Structure 1
């Protein structure tokens, strides 16, 4: 199967003010977020991409454009509601410091699988549709471009955390142990037997090592087995 780079959108005006943006319209990257997205684009500039999919939220579409800026081989930006922000219902648009006083806040922190936002969706529903969307898109690109295909999904913090938790085999109740910063990049390879998490919440480093080997330097046939002892790493 293919490999997905999970990119969280850059910092927004809502992030900076401590507001839960949710699905409110008009939430855009601030100046810091624009710079963060540009740096993330530099990190993947050498990666041959087979596709890019974005959440429909404006901040993600802004980030997606920044990731592809200046690329001659830029893929078309597709959008997928499956990786849209969690529907926080009546919570969206409210200050986080105010929400932290709500009884539901402790459920979200300690037992997220039981958390459902008033007028919105549950975190379990959010994870289910996000994981399904990522795996479905990954399978399509694998079929179209082959198992060495690399693609990008631009989404949101809780969405990416839930997808990483699934790939790590973690119960949703443990997903708050995962941290995903604005404009950070995480990487999952979906193998035949299991997903392999290659990176989480990274902020620096060229990711061109994700490219498949050239014909002159062919890699050993990819195995779905985990290498005992850790293996030789990419490019060997």
Structure 2
């Protein structure tokens, strides 16, 4: 099972340098809408079987063109929604960097809990659980290997990648997930394989490789190509 972790396109909050969080009505800006259209060319030739997205508007807008091109109905899942930043929501990044908690978010994010919001460790737990559950569900539904998209937010995607890489959440700030980027994780019975991180190029086909054969999973050797058919809280303000 292979998941394409897609971050939403650039939003009005990204360009305003505010922490969007779960604010209602935060849409894509002009560049973000261009990125959403470009995703069709980047991913549209791949044999994608399902799209799961955060319920927030900027993710809904990002997957709309791809879903229309593929004839798929995206499924919204609260577990891959943006971090609940609590009272930090909507504030300027330039203000937040002065808060004592900012240093904790950067240096020990596993200990960071946002005032009146949630902790990053909890975010990772819910997001990883959601991705793995959808992975199993889609494998059962399609009787085998499936390529699917999960459209979410920067910090959420970085936390899933940290888990897949087998690194502690405290290192997740070393991972980038830019607007409209795609990161690729292949889940197997033994362990996840991180195939690509923060892909922002044209077509993704060249960044994908087939799942390793069972006999090769010990060293993760690839076995040929798959068939084709801004500043942040830790790096990603939303």
Using the size of structure 1 for normalisation, the TM-score is 0.90
| Runs of 4 or more consecutive aligned structure 1 residues displaced over 6 Å after TM superposition | none
Cα pair 2:67 2:73 within 8 Å, conserved = no
CA–CA distance in 2 between the matches of 1:109 and 1:100? 10
Question: Match for 1:106 among 103, 122, 141?
Answer: 103
Which residue pairs with 1:234 in the alignment?
225
Per the alignment, in what secondary structure is the counterpart of residue 153 of structure 1?
Answer: strand
1:205 positional shift: 3.8
CA–CA distance in 2 between the matches of 1:59 and 1:47? 23
Aligned runs of 1:35-46 on 2, under 5 Å?
35-46=34-45
Cα deviation digits, residues 123-158 of structure 1 (max 9, x gap): 000100000000000110011113321000000000
Flag structure 1 segments of 5+ consecutive residues without an equivalent: 213-218
CA–CA distance in 1 between the matches of 2:56 and 2:93? 20
Name the count of aligned residue pairs: 226
Change (3 A) 1:208 1:106: same
Which residue pairs with 1:57 in the alignment?
56
Question: Match for 2:166 among 161, 164, 169?
Answer: 169
- Of structures 1 and 2, the larger Rg is shown by 1
1:221 positional shift: 4.5
Change (3 A) 1:99 1:74: same
CA–CA distance in 2 between the matches of 1:78 and 1:223? 34
CA–CA distance in 1 between the matches of 2:189 and 2:216? 6
Cα pair 1:150 1:211 within 8 Å, conserved = no
CA–CA distance in 1 between the matches of 2:51 and 2:120? 25
Cα pair 1:46 1:207 within 8 Å, conserved = no
Using the size of structure 2 for normalisation, the TM-score is 0.89
1:83 positional shift: 0.1
CA–CA distance in 1 between the matches of 2:212 and 2:168? 34
